[in-house]
Structure 1
Amino acid sequence: MPEMKQRKGVGGNSNDLERLGSSARNSTSGGKSISYLRLIFSCAIAGGVQYGWALQLSLLTPYVQTLGLSHTLSSIMWLCGPIAGFLVQPCVGLWSDRCRCKMGRRRPFILVGCLLISCAVMVVGFSSDIGGLLGDTKEHCSVYRGPRWHAAIVYVLGFWVLDFANNAVQGPARALMADLSSSHGPNAANAIFCSWMAIGNILGYSSGANGKWHKWFPFLVTRSCCDACANLKGAFLIAVVFLLFCLTVTMIVAKETPLGDTMKEDEAEEPIGIFGVFKAFNNLPAGMYPVLFITGLTWLSWFPFILYDTDWMGREVYHGDPSGTVAQAAAYDTGVRQGAFGLLLNSIILGITSLLLGPLCRKLTPRVVWVASNFMVSVCMAAVSVISVWSLNDYRGSIQQAITADEGVRAAALAIFAALGVPLAVLFSVPFAVAAQLALQGGGGQGLCTGVLNISIVVPQVIVALGAGPWDSIFGKGNIPAFAFASAIAFVCGILGCFFLPKLSKKNFACSSLSGGH
């Protein structure tokens, strides 16, 4: 963009920055502030996408192992998420900043991405049936226990397309909210986005836990797809319907004015794709680099819990073992289901907290809220380690020797799940709001800043995913060291945030009342 070329990094005078902010607002909403209610419905697509994410997290890892992929391979398969986030979100964010489609800058990418998500979900859900048509086996699924490689290949291809499409939607969706926030402020927009994510999580986890889809839709049960598989198909079919409904709402309500042609000649000279993203790093607004660093550390403290939360409930709280005796496997499964219930509680608290983030940021500043959330994560992760030790010492034996769960330990574990909904709401909202405000002040594109911020999320995810196996083996498949490590990282992150996060004014995050706008 010519504005970015005129300023290297943080250069440029206040008139330039004001002109840039005005230009960005005019290119999205025609320079008019939209009502708070309309801003809420503009973000409906976040709920639709998150519904599918929740189903992925709760259903797909167990499902893919029924097709023949080992647990190790299924873990590697999840690396497509950070790879897609590293490559797709920054590129799509940069492209959406420059898009001159008549529909606007963000909505074309949201539309195409959602259509790809719908197709990928159908492929994943019906992978067993497709594999059967390709010749996996002629035996009925109720008696056949061997690998189904055609179905596995179809599944993996669909899964990768699904993750790439999810990332293609999320960046422009967040940038759209920042574009439309206007007088409501970027923190209000990101709090709304976080609330829709909580709604999607609640519906997704509830749908994934429902074991009656095969009864309600008996036509989903086929020779290649028995009850558990049919339940997955039913949940995913509902996910597609919900996603398309949310897409329709966003496309109708979130009106965008097409970007003008004033920068066309200069932009044509700039590289696009991943090379354009790397070049654009030089044009990031002031304060973005500390935000990227602190965001990466914050997510590094979260990923051990995200990766091991239900496994922790199954092993340390319920003392089960997925590869042990029948009783141990049953205890592990019970713990995993209780972990899913804990995630549901977590999502409810997340949704409530997201509604309070606007007033909190206005009163305390976003930096204080972000730092406080890191210290809260540190305390919660340390509490997880304490609960683990408490649980194991009560039984005076190894994880595999005890088959039941103490009610006090179970209640404390669920309380930790619920409490972590508060800092998770901050994690899903405040860093993106800070990046949006820095982009507005410094002239960087909203889409680019959102996409680049996502790199700080996927890098620690890759570190944890690749190191999880060796780390797990060193400590005998126990989760206590991982949570202790997370607690230490969160504490360090809180200390560093006090000194390095940008000092943004409270008024930059002000939200107008519900009657504001028109």
Structure 2
Amino acid sequence: MTLLPQSQLDPPPEPADGPEPPPFAEAEPVRRPRWRLLMHAAVMFGRELCYAVEAAFVTPVLLSVGLPRGLYSLVWLISPALGFVLQPLAGSFSDRCRSPWGRRRPYILGLGIMMLVGLTLFLNGDAIVSAMVTDRNLKRTWAILVVMVGVVVFDFSADFIDGPVKAYLFDVCSYQDKERGLHYHALLTGLGGASGYLIGAMDWGHSALGVLLGSEYQVIYFFAVLSMSILLAVHLFSIPETPLGRDGGLDPDAEAGTLLPDCHTDAPGYGTMPTETSRSHEVRSRSYTALRESNGITPTVKQPSKEAQKRMSLKSVLLAMVTMPSHYRCLCVCHLLGWTAFLCNMLFFTDFMGQIVYRGNPYAEHNSTAYLTYERGVEVGCWGLCINAASSALYSYVQRLLLPYIGLKGLYFMGYFMFGLGTGLIGLFPSLGATLALCTVFGIMSSTLYTVPFHLISEYHREEKEKNDGSSSQAARGMGADCAALTCMVQLGQILVGAGLGALVNAVGSVVVVVLSASTVSLIGCLFIAVFIRHVG
């Protein structure tokens, strides 16, 4: 038997001051199962279903309770104005939330409850006031107030919830799963919108449910609230979220338990002494940190000090947004152009179908042929919106096939270009068949707006993390703040549309200008993407 020298039997000495190589540095990222990603995306189905119900019934409900036409635009301006002011602050606060349930889920739960409360007041406000107030004039005033509050609360919370949901996805998923998760979000968003429009298009008043619940609105409310409640609960329990520790960083014990629940062991390895428990614990902590970094679920920026958190205010958050890197700012501007074009078309599309395609008159007598023709056009317009929602769900899968070939910037450009071209053709040639066929481009734009910008945000953060080795100079900004900044552009676009488009229609005298304006803004967004949006590999 050959004896080896003692120097070959002893383990190599560790460097005194040098960094220890992470044991799991080459570990493959943890892949989330498909069913968990679908559970996470379920809330987008419920949100979009409720959105479709609001879009289909907000006008008849508001007019049925006697809202003056002069106050109608005010309803659409209050909610986005509040969201534009509050979303950046709430997004930044969610980056620093120390709830044991995680950073994002408490906000998502609160906003989901607000959506349900707003929907309740919106669809049942007249019935609630009728049961509590007997004076006729007072009842009309309170009914208008309650319904308006319901619309504002629902619209605000439904817009607001998108940012925390996206940040939650980015926090708990590896790089590969972020892409899959965004596509599932787009798929279920389209399916939820289609389901909501189909529920609204059915005649529930003469059905058994309509007789049982009292009216068509109560049946629609029942389906919307039941769907949103169940899917919100499914979303909240989809993927465990790691809470922040007391020092502002992610809790290493909680996160290690989430990632490696069965890896704790006290058995000494080769070359270790049984008494060196502290050293063994340190090695395991570094190991979990290395695995966490390789999985891409570390916090996007280092948490600021407690003094910095105490100084957090709306002014400081807005300042952080203004001073954000230029490629983030360009992405926000492009998102604003996209949503302005999309809302221009979507908010007035059924009116365009009734007045321009069917040549009806909404101001004629309600029993006249012109008014009935207009109503028929509005109904067909709702079916066009169903086509939009279905094409959005389908295109979410087409995006995954196109991404390796044209990249994120190419997908972004193509979505804006096809929407601008399609809406331009609808405005110039408003025939029934062509209009319904071109409703598919609305879905392409919808899927683009809900996925590509957030995917770009994720890529930018990943590049910054790789470049700065996990540190960042933008301490006041996190993933939640950047997602909130993008979502703010939706509110700002709604403010621009609500404040300016009505005056433009009155000046021109035709609803055609709405569709042509959407086309023009979208094509301007194409040029902006080509020149200013930074390409990522």
* TM-score normalised by structure 2 residue count: 0.77
What residue is the counterpart of 1:327 in the other structure? Answer: 369
| 1:373 corresponds to 2:415 | yes
What residue is the counterpart of 1:173 in the other structure? Answer: 165
Of 236, 239, 252 in structure 2, the residue corresponding to residue 251 of structure 1 is 236
| 1:483 corresponds to 2:523 | no
**Equivalent-residue separation in structure 2 for 1:413 and 1:358 (angstroms):** 27
What residue is the counterpart of 1:38 in the other structure? Answer: 36
Question: CA 1:245–1:500 in structure 2 vs 1: closer, same or farther (change >3 Å)?
Answer: same
**Offset from partner CA, 1:240-280 (integer Å, 9 cap, x none):** 11111111211222211112333377144233352342132
Aligned-pair identity in percent equals 24
Question: CA 1:210–1:84 in structure 2 vs 1: closer, same or farther (change >3 Å)?
Answer: farther
| 1:413 corresponds to 2:432 | no
* Aligned-residue offset at 1:147: 8.2
* Aligned-residue offset at 1:116: 2.0
Matches within 5 A, 1:494-509: 494-505=526-537
What residue is the counterpart of 1:336 in the other structure? Answer: 378
SS in 1 for 2:62: helix
CA contact (8 A) 2:419 2:441 kept: no
Matches within 5 A, 1:116-515: 116-135=114-133, 148-212=140-204, 215=207, 216-221=209-214, 230-263=215-248, 266-270=305-309, 271-281=311-321, 284-285=324-325, 287-325=327-365, 326-388=368-430, 409-442=431-464, 444-476=477-509, 478-505=510-537
**Equivalent-residue separation in structure 2 for 1:267 and 1:281 (angstroms):** 21
CA contact (8 A) 2:384 2:436 kept: yes
**Equivalent-residue separation in structure 2 for 1:50 and 1:185 (angstroms):** 22
Structure with max Cα Rg: 2
Question: CA 1:282–1:308 in structure 2 vs 1: closer, same or farther (change >3 Å)?
Answer: closer
**Offset from partner CA, 1:86-144 (integer Å, 9 cap, x none):** 133322221211112111111111112112222222222221122213435579xxxxx
Aligned Cα RMSD in Å? 2.4
CA contact (8 A) 1:198 1:347 kept: yes
* Aligned-residue offset at 1:358: 2.3
**Equivalent-residue separation in structure 2 for 1:187 and 1:333 (angstroms):** 41
Question: CA 1:131–1:415 in structure 2 vs 1: closer, same or farther (change >3 Å)?
Answer: same
| 1:108 corresponds to 2:126 | no
**Offset from partner CA, 1:32-77 (integer Å, 9 cap, x none):** 4422331121121111111111111111111111101033422321
CA contact (8 A) 1:186 1:437 kept: no
* Aligned-residue offset at 1:170: 1.8
* Aligned-residue offset at 1:285: 4.9
**Equivalent-residue separation in structure 2 for 1:433 and 1:102 (angstroms):** 28
SS in 2 for 1:100: coil
**Equivalent-residue separation in structure 2 for 1:149 and 1:243 (angstroms):** 30
Question: CA 1:32–1:284 in structure 2 vs 1: closer, same or farther (change >3 Å)?
Answer: farther
CA contact (8 A) 2:101 2:243 kept: yes
CA contact (8 A) 1:348 1:421 kept: yes
Question: CA 1:439–1:213 in structure 2 vs 1: closer, same or farther (change >3 Å)?
Answer: farther
Of 85, 97, 100 in structure 2, the residue corresponding to residue 99 of structure 1 is 97
Which shows bigger deviation, 157-166 or 258-267? Answer: 258-267
SS in 2 for 1:466: helix
* Aligned-residue offset at 1:489: 2.2
Residue identity in the other structure for 2:347: L
